[in-house]
Amino acid sequence: MSLQKTEVDAIARLAGISVDPAEGEQLTAKLSNVLAIFQQMQAIDTNGIEPMAHPLDQVQRLREDCITETNHREAYQSLAPKAENGLYLVPQVID
């Protein structure tokens, strides 16, 4: 199974990664190789095998519904590039 350049561009866009056009061809070939490994795995008969969601064979621990966190807004916002009136500011997002 080999990928097309256009598919790699689409994946890059979804992942928010900018891919240098010069690198594009090489990346497409590399990713196709990775997919070839998956293809080998897909040849294995997995009928009757329960899908594994997590490598740890344990169940989720739960937390009581109690407030444990307090307000540290000023400290956190001092780390942000921009904050005003209690809001984090980011470049304009148009819907």
Binding-site ranges for other proteins (CB under 8 A): 14, 16, 51, 53-54, 56, 58-69, 71-73, 76-77, 82, 84-95
Return the residue matching tokens 């109690």: 66
For the bound state, the minimum distance from the C-beta of residue 59 to other proteins, rounded and expressed in Å, comes to: 4
Category of 53 on φ-ψ map: left (φ > 0), alpha (ψ -120 to 50) or beta? alpha
Q: Nearest 5°: phi and psi at 84? A: -150, 145
CA pair distance 81, 46, nearest whole angstrom: 49
77: number of Cβ within 10 Å: 15
For the bound state, the minimum distance from the C-beta of residue 19 to other proteins, rounded and expressed in Å, comes to: 16
For the bound state, the minimum distance from the C-beta of residue 95 to other proteins, rounded and expressed in Å, comes to: 5
- For other proteins, which is the closer residue by CB, 22 or 91? 91
For the bound state, the minimum distance from the C-beta of residue 36 to other proteins, rounded and expressed in Å, comes to: 20
- For other proteins, which is the closer residue by CB, 6 or 85? 85
- For other proteins, which is the closer residue by CB, 22 or 67? 67
Structure token digits, residue 49: 């095998």
DSSP secondary-structure letter at 84?
E
